[in-house]
Structure 1
C-alpha cells in the first residue's frame, strides 16, 4: 500500500444539506474515470445489509488517515432525528427509498471513506450522483454469512421486504443493482474477518488507480521491450516482434476461501468474477464486462450449465464443451472475444480478422463476430483459411453456412500449418500492413488462440470443471484433480496451466496427441524437430497440427519469463526447423504436464467401448484424450477430460466406431443415423441447422501459395469496405 501512503494530503470538506459538516483530508486530488471525466476521490463502500460496510469503512479510513462516514448513522439519522428502522416503519419501503435517495442526491463529500446503505444502489439518481465522487467498491459477501450476521444483529426485516418474501429473496434481488454500480468487486471469502476484507479493499482501490501496473509483454521480450495494455493486445493479436503477449506479472492468485464462494455460482457469474480479476476495470469497466459476459453465455448455449461436467466411468469425468452455437469448445471463448475486441477498437479504422483453422475455430469465429451489431459489425470483417482436405465435411459445410457479408471462408490446398504460418507472415510484413492501411483503411488482427482475448476466457471453463466437482460432492475444496486435453495448438492446455496459476488445484495437465504427436514428443524428449515431419491426416483433424503456437507461451511460463531464451529457441525453429529444450527447462515442463498419443485404431475402439459400457458417445478428439488419460493417470484423483467437440461434427468416423452399416454419403443423413444410434449426449440442433444453411453455397478454394492468400485478403477488403452496392 506504499502508493496510497505516499500521496500528498490536502484539506477538503464534505457536506450534506440539511445536516452536519465535516472536515477531511483528501488522499488524491482527482483521477480520471473510464470515460475521461474527473472524479473526486472518495472510497465508497457498497454492499448488502450485514456485509460489514461500516466496520470495514472505519478500518480502511484508519489505515489511510481519512474520516469514515456512515450514511445510515451520519447522514440519514442525523437528518431525520430518528433511527433508520423507525423511519422505515413509519413511512414504508417505497417512500423510504425515495427519501433516502433524495438525501444522498443532496450530499457531497471528498477525501473520505463513505459507507453506503444496503438500499442506496436501488435509487438510480442518487447512485449517479455519488459515483462521480470516487471509486465504488462492492463488498461481495457470501449470502450465508450475511444471514448469520443479520440474525446476530436481530435484524428480521430490510428495505423492500414485503409479506411472503424472505431476506434471502431480497438479497438475491439486489445483487444486480450492486453490480450495476460497482467500479471494483471485493470477493469476500466465507469467514473472512473485517480486517481481511479491509485489506482487500485497499488493494482493490490501489489497483483501480494504477492501471499501468497491469501490462502485457511479448514472450520474446528481454525486459526492456514494449509494454502493452489489455486493449492493445486484444486488437493487435501477436506482438510486433513475432512473440505472443502474456501478462507481465502473471495471473492473480485466488484464495481457497474465495474459490469456495464460486462453487454455487452459475457459469456466467463465475466468468464475471474471474475475468474482473484479469482485466483492469479502466480497460473494460465491470459494468460493461458484466453485459458482455451475460450475453456471451446465455440462451445461445443449449445447456444452462454452459460447460457441464458428467461422470464417464471409474474416476473419469467429461467436461462437455460443445453446447455452444457451433458445437465446439471454441465457442466458450469466441462468444465473448468479439465483444471484447469491439469494445477495445480505436475509432476511424476498419479491421480484418484473419483466422487459420483446423476445423472448429473457423465456425466459432464466424458465429462470434456475426453476433456484433451496428458500427462494430460494419467495420469488422472476417476471413478464414482452412486446409481444404484437412477438416471434416461437416466442418466445411458448417463454415459455409455461417459465412455472411463481411465474413468469408477459403479452402487452401495445403495443411493447417501452412495457413497459420502464412497469417503470421502477413502480420510480420510492415510493407503489407502499410499497403492495407493506405488502400483500404484496414488493420489486421486475429481470433486464433495467439490472441490473448481468445485464450483468457478458456481459463474460466477449466476453473468451472473443478468448481462443479466440488459442488457435486465428488471432491472437497482443495482436493487435486488432473485434466486431460486433446492438444494441437496448445491453447486449451495453456489455459489449464493458467487456471492452475490462479489457484485451481490441478495436479497435472495431460496433453493428448493423435499420430501427429509433435507436442507429445517435445514433452517426453525435449526435442522439437520439424525437419522430417509430415502432417498425416487423421480422424481427429482439429489436432492435426505440427507448429504449435501456444507452446511459446508455455516455454515462457516454465522458464520464469526468460524472453531471450524463448526468442532464441523460436529463431532456431524458424531457421533450422528444430530446437532442444535445456535440461532445466525440460524438468520444469514435466513438473507441469504429461503427454501421450493415441493411434487411429485405439481412438475408434475407445468410442465403441465407452458407448457399450457407459451408453455415451464421444467425438474422436475426446476419444484421443480418454485413451491417453487411461494410460497416464494413476487413479488417485479424478481426471477431467475436455470434450472439445460434439460427435456429430465427425459423423463418419463415429459411425464407423459404432460399427454402423451402410453409412450414407449425405452429411444430414449421417447426422440422422447418429441421432438414432446415440442416446447421450443428444444431437446438437445447431449443427443440423448450419448444414441446411450451407446447401448450395459456393466457397473459394486456392492453392497453397502465400501470394494467393494475400490476394484473397485484398479481394475480401475490397468487397467488405470499398465495393459500392
Structure 2
C-alpha cells in the first residue's frame, strides 16, 4: 500500500519472487479483469466518487491466500475494502516522501489521480490521501530518497518477520541475572513494562536488544515531517505492534500532541546567541518538558492494562512531574478514569509556590496531590518501598481489585517519548540549514534524575549525530562529580533547596539504566553498584566504564548566584527570559562547549513556574507573595516568551483548592493511599 508512484507493484514483484509467492496487482489483475476495461478509462467513465465505490466492491469479492498483493493507490480510501484486506493479511505501507512521489509522477506523465478535483494541486491531494493510509497499515516502511526497490523489498520482509514475531522485542531488568541452564527467561513485553513500572527485583526495565537504529536516509525522510509524524514514526520502531498496533499508536500520538500544546511546532528550536540554541520544551499544558511523556503515557497505559482491574499510579515529584502527571491522567476518557487513578507525592516545602498551586489546581476526581513533610529523595524512596511491600500491594489487590504502578521516569513509557524531541531538535537544525545532516551537535541538559539526558544518549544510539551530552547540575552536584571522577558519593551529602527544584536530587534513578547500557547489560554489576549505594552511600566505577561514560558525557554545576546572573544577563542582551533550570544549563554550556558545533540547550520549564526567582534575577524590588500577582507583574514587562497562558488559567481557576499533607512516614502514606483508593474504587466483596 502507498501513494501512486510509491513502487508498490515493483516492490511487490521482488517480494513475491523472494518468497516464491504469486504476485497480484489490483489494477491489472483484479479491476481491469472485473471491468473489462482499463482503470483510467473506468475513471473517466464514472468519475472519482463512483470509481471508489466500484473499486471497493470489486476488491470485497476478491481473496487470494499465500499471495503478495499490490493495492491501488486509492484502495485505502474505501473503509470496507480495507477491513476485508486487514482480516486476510498484513498491510505494509510504503512511506515515500511527497517530493519523491511528485518527481516520479512527473516522469510518468501523471497529472491527475482519483479524488483530485479541479483546482486541487497534486501535492495537496497526496497529503489528503495519507490520512487514509495511516488508518490501515500494520507495518510502515520508510523509503528514503534514492533507495532501490530491492532494498525496499528486503525492508518489507524484515518488517513482516518483526510483525509476526511478537517475542522478538522484550524487556529485561537492569538487575537481570544471566540465565543458567534450565532457568526460565524473566523478560517481559512493552505492555508489561508499562503496566508494572518497576521490575520485581528493584531494577528498571530496558529493551533487551537495545533501541532500533535509523539510517541517515530514514532520519532525513523525517525532515519535512511534523512533530506528530516524527513521533509516530519513531515510536512505531520502538513499540512492537503486538503491544500497540500502528493505527492505535497513531491515535494516541495525535491525542497527546494534536491540540494540547500552545505552539504548533510542539518542541520548537530557537536561536539564543552565537552557536547556542534553545529547545523549548515548555509549551505543554503544565509548562514543562514532563508534558511530552505525560500527555502520551496515560493513553498508552490505558490501552495496555487489562480491562478487569483498577490501577493506582504512584508518582514522586520534585516539582514538574506532579502537575504533568495529574493533568495527563485527568485527560483520560471517562471510562478509563473510573479504573485508573494517580497519586502524586511531593515535598511540601521543596517545590515552588507556583508549582504547588499548579499541582493542587490540577487535581481531579481521579488525580490527587499529596504533600509530604520531607524532600524529594524521601518521596522517591517511599514509592519504591510501597511497591515492594508485598503485604500492602496484596491487600489492595484483594480488597479493592487495585494494582499499583508508577508514572515516574522509572517507567519506560515515561522515558521513551523524550527521545523524540532530542531527535526532532536535530532535524530542525538541519531543516533550517544551520547544519547539514551528519554534522555533530552537543546538547546541554539540566539534570537531576538523569532521564532527560539519558533520552539524548538513546537518540544518539538511534543515529542522531550528538557528540557530547553535557550534564548540568545545580548545587546538588552529585551527578556532575560522578561524571568527572566515577565516584557516586552520598556520604555526608546535605540536600540543598535551590531555585531549580526539579533537579534538586541526590539519587538519580535513571543513572541505573545508563550504567546497564555502558556495562553491556551486566545486570549483576549494576545490582552490586546500587546495593553498595544503598548500604554504604557510595560506589566507584571501574576505569574502563568511566572511560566509556566520558565518551558520551561531560558535566559541571552552577551556583545559585551564577544561575540568577545568567537569567539577568540573557534578558538584558536578548529580551528572552530563561527559567532557573535552563539558566543552570546555560551557565554550564558556556563553560564546557568548545564552540566548534552548535549546542542545543534543553529549556525544560517555563520561567512562569519560578516567578519569585525570576523577579529576583531581574532585580525587581517588590515581589508580591500571591502567585497570580507575580505572573501579572512579569507579564507587564512584555517578556519573551510571554507568560504561559495555560499556567495562568490554571492558577485563576483553582486558587481555593486544598490538598492532603502527610508526615514523612511510609506507613502514613500507605494509610492515606488506602483511604483514597477506597473512595475511588468499589471495594471487592
For this structure pair, what is the TM-score category when the shorter chain's length is used for normalisation? over 0.9
* TM-superposition CA deviations, 1:518-545 (whole Å, max 9, x none): 1101111101111211111001000000
Q: Deviations over 1:594-614 (max 9, x none)?
A: 111000000000000000111
Aligned partner of 2:129 among 163, 174, 188:
174
Match in the other structure for 2:47: 92
Partner of 1:117 in structure 2?
72
Q: Is 1:682 matched up with 2:642?
A: yes
| Equivalent in 295, 302, 313 of residue 353 of structure 1 | 313
- Residue in 1 that maps onto 2:263: 303
Determine if contact 2:401/2:683 at 8 Å carries over to the other structure.
no
Aligned 1:214-613 pairs, distance under 5 A: 214-224=169-179, 225-613=185-573
What's the CA shift for 1:722?
4.1
Give the match for residue 48 of structure 1. 3
TM-superposition CA deviations, 1:354-412 (whole Å, max 9, x none): 11000000000000000011221001111111111110000000000011222211111
- Tell me what 2:182 maps to: none
In the alignment of these two chains, the number of paired residues is 679
Q: Give, in angstroms, the shift of residue 711 of structure 1.
A: 1.4
Distance 1:717 1:582 in 2: 45
Q: SS of 2:15's equivalent?
A: helix
Q: Which residue of 2 aligns with 1:66?
A: 21
Unaligned ranges ≥5, structure 1: 1-45
Secondary structure, counterpart of 1:135 in structure 2 = coil
What residue is the counterpart of 1:137 in the other structure? 92
User: Using the alignment, how far apart are the partners of 1:703 and 1:350 within structure 2?
Assistant: 27
Secondary structure of the residue aligned to 2:116 is coil
Q: Is the 8 A contact 2:266 2:283 kept in 1?
A: yes
Question: Residue 456 of structure 1: SS of its match in structure 2?
Answer: helix
Matches within 5 A, 1:1-20: none
Question: Which has the larger displacement, 700-709 or 63-72?
Answer: 700-709
Pick one of 647, 666, 675 that aligns with 1:706.
666
Offset of residue 79 of structure 1: 2.4
More off after superposition, 671-680 vs 521-530: 671-680
Equivalent residue number for residue 619 of structure 2 = 659
Cα RMSD of the aligned pairs, angstroms, is 1.1
Deviation at 1:723, TM superposition (A): 8.0
Q: Residues 172 and 186 of structure 2 are in contact (CA less than 8 Å); yes or no, is this contact kept in structure 1?
A: yes
Distance 1:678 1:156 in 2: 50
d(CA) in 1 for partners of 2:369, 2:86: 47
Q: Which moved more, 1:342-351 or 1:313-322?
A: 342-351
Equivalents in 1 of 2:533, 2:306: separation in Å? 35
Contact 1:145 / 1:191 at 8 angstroms: preserved in 2?
no
1:633 partnered with 2:593: yes
Name the SS for the 1:509 alignment partner: strand
Task: State the distance in 2 between where 1:62 and 1:103 align.
Answer: 26
Q: Distance in 1 between matches of 2:262 and 2:285?
A: 8
Contact 1:268 1:297 in 2 (8 A): yes
Distance in 2 separating the partners of 1:141 and 1:223: 42
Question: Shift in Å at residue 692 of structure 1?
Answer: 2.0
In 1: Cα distance, 2:369 partner to 2:27 partner:
60
* 1:83 to partner: Cα distance: 2.0
5+ residue gaps in structure 2? 180-184
- Match 2:632 to one of 656, 672, 675: 672
> Equivalent residue for 1:200?
155
Q: Please, which moves more after superposition, 148-157 or 408-417?
A: 148-157
Q: Which moved more, 1:197-206 or 1:157-166?
A: 157-166
Q: In 2, are the aligned partners of 1:558 and 1:588 still within 8 Å (CA)?
A: yes
Q: Is the 8 A contact 1:449 1:455 kept in 2?
A: yes
After TM superposition, the runs of 4+ consecutive aligned structure 1 residues lying more than 3 A away are none
Q: Is the 8 A contact 2:400 2:683 kept in 1?
A: no
Structure 1 residue 553 displacement after superposition: 0.3
Query: Does structure 2 retain, via aligned residues, the 8 Å contact 1:401–1:690?
Result: yes
CA positional deviation for 1:706 = 1.5
Residue by residue, what CA displacement relative to the aligned partner does 1:584-628 show, whole Å, maximum 9, x if unpaired? 111100001111100000000000000011110000000000000
> Aligned equivalents of 2:444 and 2:595: distance in 1?
13
Partner SS state of residue 85, structure 2: helix
Which position in structure 2 is the counterpart of 1:38?
Answer: none
What is the DSSP-based 3-state SS (H/G/I as helix, E as strand, rest coil) of the residue aligned with 2:90? strand
1:413-472 Cα deviation digits (max 9, x unpaired)? 111000000100111122221111112211000100000001111111111110111111
Of 104, 107, 110, 2:62 maps to: 107
For normalisation by structure 2, the TM-score amounts to 0.98
Deviations 1:241-296 (A, max 9, x none): 00000000111110111111111111111101000110111110111111110110
Q: TM-score, normalised by structure 1?
A: 0.93
Alignment partners' CA distance in 1, 2:142 and 2:371: 47
Q: Provide the C-alpha distance between the structure 2 equivalents of 1:450 and 1:206, rounded to a whole number of angstroms.
A: 31
Q: How far apart, in 1, do the equivalents of 2:406 and 2:507 lie?
A: 17
Distance in 2 (CA, whole Å) between partners of 1:143 and 1:596 is 44
